[in-house]
Amino acid sequence: MTRAMTTLNPPPLTLLDKYHGRDRQALYSTTVTVTGGDAAHGRASGVVRSDDGNLALELRLPKEMGGPGDGTNPEQLFAAAYAACFHGALSLLATRAGLSMADTSVDVTVELSRDPVDGLYLVTAHTRIRMPGVDRAVAEELVRNTERFCPYTKMARQGITNVVVLVPPEGASES
């Protein structure tokens, strides 16, 4: 299956306009479902599918955690999403400032660690930005502003609203 050639454009600078409402205003929503796969374990053999079908892949436990390491894992997905969001936010701010972002890259390393505080797990992200050809002082200011603007950075710093609900089995009544 081949996709028709489409010219891709960056998002409009109007995304930088401030919102002045009382309630949050959703701009986009998606649902991704993970099922357990062969091992009945989302992390070890999960199957990932987005509601629009554009994301479909198999999860595999990395070798470092005792798995085969021959697939994608949640940390890679989070690192990709974080890097893409940060790069996009940085690009919008740079475009508004009249700067070219042609050679800019954002690397995000995500670590899954054991938490010494509670003995459970902890996720840490390390973000590295390369902006060749941009004056260091200008680049530093853009990165600082991007940290305030990027939703993933805000989530990492401030937390995220997360509502967890157990859905009753089909045919069962909700209590």
**Number of H-type helices and E-type strands within the chain:** 4, 5
Question: CA 106 to CA 83: how far, in whole Å?
Answer: 6
Query: For the segment 40-77, what is each residue's pLDDT rounded down to a tens digit?
Result: 999 999 999 999 999 999 999 999 999 998 999 999 99
| Beta carbons of 35 and 46 less than 8 angstroms apart | yes
Domains and CATH numbers, the chain: 31-72 (2.20.25.10), 73-160 (3.30.300.20)
Residue 175 in this model has a pLDDT that exceeds 90: no
Closest CA to 75 of 109, 44, 46: 109
Stated pTM of the model: 0.87
Count Cβ atoms below 10 Å from residue 87 Cβ, excluding itself.
Answer: 19
